[in-house]
Amino acid sequence: MPTFGHVFYGLCLLIPILYFAKDKFNYKLAFIFLANNIYGPDIVFLFSFIPMPFHSMLGFLIIAVPLSMVYSYCSRFSMQKSEEGWFPLTLVDNGIRDVNWKNAYLATAAGGFSHFFIDQFYHWEREMTLWPTLIFTHNEMLGWSGLAYHTMNPIMVIGEAIVVIVILLSLYTFREGTKETIKVFLVATALSLLLMILISTEIYGGEREYAVIVGSTFYTLIPLGLLFYAARDILDHPRTTPDEPKINRKTLLNIVALISLLLGIFMTMYALLVIFMADTIVSLIGGLAVATPAQIQGLGYYYGTIAIILLVGSIGLFFKNKTCRYLVIMTSLYFLIFGFPIAIAFFLCEKEVKKLFEKEQ
């Protein structure tokens, strides 16, 4: 499975957008999209209590509900150049949640759908997974258009006429805006599907039309449509009211510290399991990955070290130790793949929370 490939693909989509619409496209929305473009759907592999069916397009729409709450909260923060300290960048609490839950959900879902593009074309299975009972291999999708391929049939002039008309009309509809363009898009698509179903795909020379339409809908239209709808909504309805704390920050700090502590304990136990049962793990993943017990143990020691740092830092939070606060921030950010730990790190950067630590020094 590509890993950096997900990041690369996500940035390939976002960089042209940011270049063209720097002042219109919310960069925090782009962050939410990018994070879920790589990690979003794969969260089910980390939490064994989440059923595997949720690693699907429709399943992720459910997982995205709690995830988007986390990312909506995170949108009240920004990363800026630091004027003090040894690290050049710092997380800053802006106090206003730029991306509301609805728009965070749309960006999260968009990132998840985009994730499946890489999964289909760069996994060995080459499958589009809408739901465990709705899985289509790439070859099956190509086969939807029938056996005819690159055919020369007189009826193809109908398809040629439709294509030419759509292209010429775009000179008018693009000028008029989105609504007129969408009308032509829907009419042309519906007409083409109807003709191919009732007559033959040879109307378009026997090309793989169905696969392109389905793939483009799920991997281009839906993710970019959701992303741009959210961006437009943020632009039209900017949030200007600071968040009002519903729970006292001293109380919430203890709750967050407890959650962080539990995460540290979970990760430490997980690492110990990997270290002392390396042979068993190798036999379990033998068909999925090539690894030796020593390599597995090495990973266990590495992640175990990070988990212990998180554990120590979490205990220090109860005593409002400033150094421990930094330890939890760094380790929580590292465990971004789990989704919710990023909220722990960002919470510890809240203005009111930082004051709690300053008073104790």
**Domains of the chain: which residue ranges?**
4-140+221-236, 147-207, 249-359
Q: Which residues pair with 131 in a beta bridge?
A: 134
b vs e for 16-35, b when ≥16 Cβ sit within 10 Å of the residue's Cβ?
A: ebeeeeeeebbebbbbbbbb
Question: How confident is the model at residue 51, as a pLDDT?
Answer: 55
Dihedral of CA 93/95/98/102: which sign? positive
Confidence grade of residue 131 (pLDDT, cut at 50, 70, 90): confident
Tell me the C-alpha distance between 235 and 137, whole Å. Answer: 39
Identity of the residue numbered 336: L
Whether the per-residue pLDDT at 353 is higher than 90: the answer is yes
Considering only residues 281 and 163, tell me which one the structure prediction assigns the higher pLDDT.
Answer: 163
For the chain, give the mean pLDDT. 89
Question: How confident is the model at residue 91, as a pLDDT?
Answer: 87
Confidence grade of residue 361 (pLDDT, cut at 50, 70, 90): very low
Give SS3 for 242. Answer: coil
Give me the mean pLDDT over the 74-94 stretch.
Answer: 84
Angle formed by the axes of helices 249-276 and 322-334, to 10°?
Answer: 60
Question: Under a CB-based contact definition with an 8 Å cutoff, are residues 90 and 98 in contact?
Answer: no
Angle formed by the axes of helices 101-122 and 57-74, to 10°?
Answer: 130
Question: Under a CB-based contact definition with an 8 Å cutoff, are residues 40 and 251 in contact?
Answer: no
Cβ-based neighbours of 79, under 8 Å, separated by 6 or more: 89, 90, 91, 92
Whether the per-residue pLDDT at 146 is higher than 60: the answer is yes
Confidence grade of residue 46 (pLDDT, cut at 50, 70, 90): low
Question: How confident is the model at residue 81, as a pLDDT?
Answer: 85
